[in-house]
Chains A and B, each alone.
Chain A
């Protein structure tokens, strides 16, 4: 039984470290052993014990001088689309199988500086494109709750690692639901922050105007710890915000909001959420939503009502069209972002070619998997002459309408709640011959990403199967409301224990 299993939170683990129950090095070594013991989950792509222990020793040095903060010595792991010095950065792709970045992603750098100890790089859907972590060149990740099932994606490795207690927290990235969805399917908590609040520097780009990195952890308070460090203005990222409306974009901003909302929730002990209006979008509860999920979501919402919140019906009429818009805009951006992978300066280069053109097009054909190629082709198509207006520009207009729809909804409510996915985790190996079937499963998460809004997923129940599968509740806030979302989730987690359950050992 690994050490990490005995500590339910970062705070508890941090306390144990400071009380010298064990050193950061001992903890790291134990965690590494645990990772090896769970190799069947295939959550990790690159592990390097030497590098990990070096970080642990540095953390021990800080702890010895009573320095450092809440994350010092805490094991973490990073999704493989975030570049790291030392460990390989593959983006789950053969194209970057042996790529070593000369620099760290900003979020990794900040977490390193906070004293975290990285156990390695986490498996993910190739170039973050996918919702079941089956497209990775390094093989599928297995859901710790039922290893025959997918953990969701694209941050499948991140969610699985946290769910299996290999780490207490992990970084993921979310472009269309890639933090929220695997978090839901793995019974852990995850948050996608407001676009622009977390740096994209060092994140291998997929959908540039939607990509955001965020934490996955066991509970909202832990998310707060990690997000506070990750978040904040970065001059290396041209889309990084200096201000969130009238507040400076710093990590403290979120913590301050969390604290003040936490206080508000303790004011009225009977009805702590008395002033809150929770919007329920009718379009999130239509035919495609699995009935088991629907019931469990309803129970969760009912709990919030019990705590005093008022339920309000809202409408997000372009929910379905969001899928179409997303699958025009992100492939378009991705098709351009992935052009740099040509075998010239880094990455896979084909072994057989007779001229430059063959070298490039073969390297790309060999280096990219099917889903990535599919999206590059779609993206190239929608940007091409004659189609740009009808597809790309139209999608961006619909995007603006989606933003407006959310703003209208937020005029009537403070938060929006609903399911994360229309269906439960899928058995591994099951893939439709129709590529758009998978795409439609992102229906509840895509609109949020297009709008750049913050959203999270928290565990809210399980199926009643012999091997229960987790169910997640999505909470969506207005821009810059990460602190409030986390406080709300935390309040829910004070009353419920879904987030504390763990998959049966092995």
Chain B
């Protein structure tokens, strides 16, 4: 099982990371080693074993905790400004992005 540069390009596109040609070539090389490592999983006989997503679920019941449906107050302009302080581009209380044409 190997990954081609085309595969890398597709993965990079899904991940929305613009790779340079050098980076793409490097990634292809890296993937060869990485897949080699993770292929080791295939040799483990996991028949009858359920996947585990929450580590503690083996020893105690792990259930989603529910929060009461109570709304927080609407933010003041000052509070909003604090939350948006790191925005690279904003106007009139909105985050700005280059326009997408649908």
Asked whether the complex places CB atoms of A and B closer than 8 A, the reply is yes
- A residues neighboring B (CB under 8 Å): 98-100, 102, 194-196, 209-210, 235, 238-239, 241-243, 245, 318, 320-321, 323-325, 327-328, 335, 339, 342-347, 349, 353, 355-362, 364-365, 368, 373-374, 376-378, 380-382, 384, 390-391, 393-401, 403-404, 407, 434-436, 439-440, 450-452, 479
- With beta carbons under 8 angstroms apart, the residue of B8, B56, B67, B85 that contacts A377 is B8
Contacting pair B14 A102 (CB below 8 A):
no
- With beta carbons under 8 angstroms apart, the residue of B3, B37, B95, B98 that contacts A324 is B37
Q: Which residues of A contact B3 (CB under 8 A)?
A: 381
A403: nearest residue on chain B (CB-CB)?
Answer: B58
Contacting pair B37 A102 (CB below 8 A):
no
- Rounded to whole Å, the gap between the CB of B28 and the closest CB of chain A is 10
Query: When A196-B56, A245-B59, A397-B51 are in contact, do A324 and B27 touch as well, CB less than 8 Å?
Result: no
B74 close to chain A: CB less than 8 A = no
Q: Which residues of B contact A239 (CB under 8 A)?
A: 54
Contacting pair A356 B100 (CB below 8 A):
yes
Interface size, chain B (Cβ < 8 Å): 54
Query: When A344-B97, A365-B18, A397-B49 are in contact, do A210 and B55 touch as well, CB less than 8 Å?
Result: yes
A378: nearest residue on chain B (CB-CB)?
Answer: B34
Main DSSP-derived SS at the A contact region: helix
B40 close to chain A: CB less than 8 A = yes
Contacting pair B56 A241 (CB below 8 A):
yes
- With the chains together, A395 CA to B49 CA distance in Å? 11
Contacting pair B52 A436 (CB below 8 A):
no
Contacting pair B40 A245 (CB below 8 A):
no
Contacting pair B44 A401 (CB below 8 A):
yes
- Rounded to whole Å, the gap between the CB of B100 and the closest CB of chain A is 5
Query: When A373-B23, A377-B12, A399-B52 are in contact, do A102 and B41 touch as well, CB less than 8 Å?
Result: no
Contacting pair A325 B88 (CB below 8 A):
no
- With the chains together, A339 CA to B82 CA distance in Å? 23
Query: When A323-B37, A343-B88 are in contact, do A368 and B17 touch as well, CB less than 8 Å?
Result: yes
Contacting pair B89 A361 (CB below 8 A):
no
- Rounded to whole Å, the gap between the CB of B33 and the closest CB of chain A is 5
